[in-house]
Chain A
Amino acid sequence: MRNKKTRYAFYPAWEYRREAEDLNALSDKGWQLEKGGCFRSKFYRDESVRYRYALDYNQSIDDPVRYRDTFAEQGWEFVSDTFNGWHYFRKVYDPSLPPEEYEIYTDEASVRDMSGRWSRLGYAFGVIELVCAAMNLFVLLRHPSITNIAMALACLMLGVMILVGARRIRRPETAGKPKKSMGWCFTVVFVLLAVGLVFGVIHSEVTADSEYVYDPANEPWTWQMHISLPDFYTLDVEADTDAYVDITVTNHKNGKELAVLGGGWDLRAKTTMFLWPGEYDVTTKYAEGTEPGTTGIFRYEVD
């Protein structure tokens, strides 16, 4: 049997008591905490002892020696801490002792002090996330894409959750162990971020940027666009021509016209459309009855 294991489980700050209870249950099964964390915890095997765990949040300890001594006096052994101010303590479990022996905060005022330390940070962070969401929404309106939708939703959800959490942790009766865990919300946020990242990376591969010098022999000019990812795409075209020109986007397979940009002599147009994976044609078309242009420079961008 293995003697060490790493466990990946996520606990939001306001569910610290739930985390301690899970550590207790693991200790009863012989897995003792070596290093705690809200994403990743390390354990070692020891079936000879049972511990009870307590998590403290204090990011500004003025006297670290006095802090640990105060815990050691009552039998609390320091296990580990995290960079952001969580401290893990454990005490050997003796079933004959009353449950208060395994509490580190024993009155409402001190529970409120501890949760207040976190919730102040939580409120600030939640507001920052909401500002990020608003910024993402602004970008999204100007430039729709699945990545931008995912990012705006992830920021919005994270901001709302952290604000709800910061409120929850302040209620002494639910501090550290609300009735319903919000862990699943974070899973959704991570999925959204992953979708945003993956779509962002793949999308950037179809980005085209080109310059075209008009050549009457090649008329009508067609550029074939390959789309491998369903998303919103913006076609930005600039044409400097001495004839009246339209630019159309058609589905290569069925010839269906999706967008017409145009038309004119000094064309600068932009269109955003949702495209499914497939082949698309971007074609120049001179208006009926007008003289084809003799020269022209096209710049087009697909993003």
Chain B
Amino acid sequence: MGRSAEPLTESTFYILLCLYRGPNHGYGIMRQTLALSEGHVHIGSGTMYGATGNMMKKGWIEEFPSAGEDRRRSYRLTDAGRQVLLDEAARLQHLAAAAAEIMEGGKENEE
């Protein structure tokens, strides 16, 4: 269930993130990713199929039938997937903090 030490791709990270607050279907994930990334990250269908398939194999997400009339497939996070997302978010926060420390310090030096 463990994850590799490699950073997640942007698409993988956004898919996990879009499932954090609850189940979502492929189209919903794509729209929400587009909104969160301010239009920068578009997840195409081929990328979506491959990424969701990989994550299901790794046990990070699982598919379940949508309720009612909605025939679209929904995905939800597993505990392992939630942990992967939290770890990655922490890693990114750490990177951003490190960058901020150096770059903001750099600005001070310039001034």
Report A's interface with B, CB cutoff 8 A: 54, 56, 62-63, 66-67, 69-71, 73-74, 76, 89, 98, 100-101, 103-107, 109-110, 113-114
Contacts and interface: CB of A to CB of B under 8 A. Distances in A.
Nearest to A54: B46
A106 B27 contact: no
Interface residues of B, number: 23
Contacts of A67: 49
Contacts of B25: 73
Contacts of A62: 53
**Interface residues of chain B: helix, strand, loop or mixed (majority):** helix
Contacts of B81: none
A71 B42 contact: no
A70 B42 contact: no
A71 B50 CA distance: 11
A200 B72 CA distance: 58
Contact of B44 (A66, A69, A105): A105
B84 to A, nearest CB: 16
10 contacts: A70-B45, A74-B27, A74-B30, A104-B44, A107-B9, A107-B11, A107-B47, A110-B44, A110-B46, A113-B50
Contacts of B30: 73-74
A106 B49 contact: no
Contact of A76 (B45, B47, B53, B63): B45
Interface of B: 9-11, 25-27, 30, 41-53, 63, 72-73
Contacts of B43: 106-107
Most buried by B among A66, A69, A107: A107
B11 A103 contact: no
A66 B73 CA distance: 8
B91 to A, nearest CB: 18
Which 7 interchain pairs have the tightest Cβ spacing? A104-B46, A106-B44, A110-B47, A100-B42, A73-B27, A71-B45, A70-B49
A76 B44 CA distance: 10
B46 A69 contact: no
Nearest to A117: B50
Most buried by A among B10, B43, B46, B50: B46
A110 B8 CA distance: 12
Given A67-B49, A109-B11, A74 B44 contact: yes
Contacts of B51: 110
B45 A73 contact: yes
Contacts of A73: 25-27, 30, 45, 72
A169 to B, nearest CB: 15
A282 to B, nearest CB: 66
Contacts of A113: 50
